[in-house]
Every structure is written in C-alpha cells, then in structure tokens.
Structure 1
Amino acid sequence: MHTTAEYAGKIVEELRRAAEQLPSEGAERLVEAVAGAGKVFVAGAGRSGLMAKAFAMRLMHLGISAHVVGETVTPGLDAGDLLLITSGSGETKSLIAMADKVKTLGGTLALVTIEPGSSIGQRADIVAQLPGAVKDAASDPNKTIQPMGSLFEQTLLLFLDAAILRLMDKRGQDSGSMYGKHANLE
C-alpha cells in the first residue's frame, strides 16, 4: 500500500515519460489549423471530453471563436471551421457520426488519440497520436498504475495546454492579455 504522495509521484513520473513522447508534427498541424479556422469546435466523450472543454475555454481566452459540440449555444459548423475530437480509442460511435458530418459540411477534422488508425483517425485531416495505455491491455508498453484512460486524459490536457502556449506565442499574447476574456460574473 502506498501513500497518496507516493501515488502522486508515480503519476508524475508516468506523465514525464508521456510528455517526452508528445508529437511535434501533429501539434504544429493542430496549432496551424486552429489559427486558420473560422470557428473551432471541440467534442469528446467522458473525461476526454472534459479536456476538450478546457481547451475550448483557453481558446476563448485567446479571443478565438471556440464552441463545445452539444451545448445549447453552439452555432452550426461552416466550411473553413475546425472540429477537434479527443478520443483515446477513436471508436466512440457518436464521435464517428460527428466526424462524418464535419466532412460533408466542408470543415476540417482533427483528432487527438492513442489510435491513429481508428475509424475517426481514418477520416481525420490532422491526427496527433498521444501515448497512453490501451484499455485492458496488460502487455501495453505504456502500462500505467492509473485506472482506465487516466494517463491518456492527463497527457491530453498537457498536450492541449502546450498547444495553447504555441498559439499564445503566434498571437503575441500572454496570461495578462488573456484575463480580459476571463469570466467576470463569478
């Protein structure tokens, strides 16, 4: 049995190893697509979806038109817009349907996943492969002490936050300039 601090140390070590494997090319293609999109939409299921929502929030802080698919105030996707799907497996049925739809609307599809050859990966214009343990795979080289998809979801947040820093560089913005768009009715 380990203490909470010992477990946290093991998680940080897993994240350090994962961070060393983050894809530079996929990240740069995603940053360029976000920078050039009319509007950016994000979608994901479960905890992967929560990481996508955190990314959309930071995009909004940068002054980028960002929306979460499924929210009541989300506008329609137009040609020239970007849909970013976050899915460890790339096989979530509802997300596959969105991937098909964005292509018929003339949008760009980006995927951040463990499985680039997945159904969504095959449809995507941009794929960034992150390290993460495949669910229920005892022989996985990215085996983790963490439950289920936690390593992927945490690495996803790191990857998307790093993409935000790249966008900040490109736009000449810093944290101070972003606070002007921070919620102020709290």
Structure 2
Amino acid sequence: MGIHQFTAKQKSGKEIDLKDYAGKVLLIVNTASKCTFTPQFEDLQKLYVRYREAGLEILGFPCNQFGEQEPGSNEEAAEFCQLNYGVTFPVFSKVEVNGEQADPLFQYLREAAPFRGFDDANVNEKLLKMMIADRNPEWLVGDAIKWNFTKFLVDANGTVIKRFEPSDEFSSIEKEVESLLA
C-alpha cells in the first residue's frame, strides 16, 4: 500500500489520482500563508527548482487547522504562494490533516510516518511544543500533525520514507531527497 492509491483535489476542485506521480520522489507538505513557518515556501521552491528535473515533485496542501493561518479560498492560497514566493509546484485544495474530517491521504501519511517526538534540546521545537500546548493541546499526543509545514518524503514507488517536522533543517531534508533521487 502506498500513496498512489489516493486522490487529491486541485485548487479548482478537480480530483486527480496520485498514481499520476508514480516514478517521482514526492515531498508532501501541509502549508499556510499566515504562519511563522510560511517563509519555508522559499526553501521549498529552491528545492523544487534544484531537483525537479531529477524527479522531485512537491505537493502543497493548504490547511486552516493551525491557528486559522490559511483563512482564504483555495485560489487565494495558491495565488499567495505564487505571488509572494514564486511557487511553481502544485498547490492543491485546502484540507484538514487531523481529526475526524482529516483527508484520507493525511490519515495515511500520519500512520505511515509516526511522530518522532519533540527534541527538547532544540529551541525551535521547545517553542513549537509550547505553542501547541497553548493552542491545540489535543495534538501533542500521538501521531497527529503538530503544525503547518510538516513534510512527508515519499519514494518513487509511493512508499512513505520519512516525516519532517516544521522545525527540521532544510539541509537534512535536501540530503534525504538527494539520496532517493540517486
């Protein structure tokens, strides 16, 4: 079982099969335009430009579950990414990633790549943990997605390889992407 069995809605609402991405390494990200981590769009776009020809696709899924940081429409979310960060990778329709209404793809991603836990030695993770404890304490336990810009790395066969938290360094993400593309 892999991610190629799922579908995703484009910003227009049209459903596409993720099997269309078979043979590609994927980085699937829940995004938001009004988040502390929003500048990661710049790093994501650089990664996309650097490795797209080698077989990387980045799939962005706007989400409004974390501090209502993606309040606009699907079109507004995609337009924000393009205008402010020059994003050229696909930005899909808004989804929920946690709870009873969570998109099936994200339910699967959470199960396939469980949360590794917070690294209390990392100041950014300590701050993130405190913010979640304040705003959404129910997501501190278990494998729930903790915040915007959680990333899932998927190999060309559709197997989920690794989960990256919003606080993870892009250099470590890039190394993992490179190893899958090699």
Q: Tell me whether the two structures share a fold, i.e. TM-score over 0.5.
A: no
Give the TM-score of the pair, scaled to structure 2: 0.32
Higher relative contact order (CA 8 A, sep 6+): 2
Give the TM-score of the pair, scaled to structure 1: 0.31
Greater C-alpha radius of gyration: 1
Q: Where is the helix percentage greater, Structure 1 or Structure 2?
A: 1
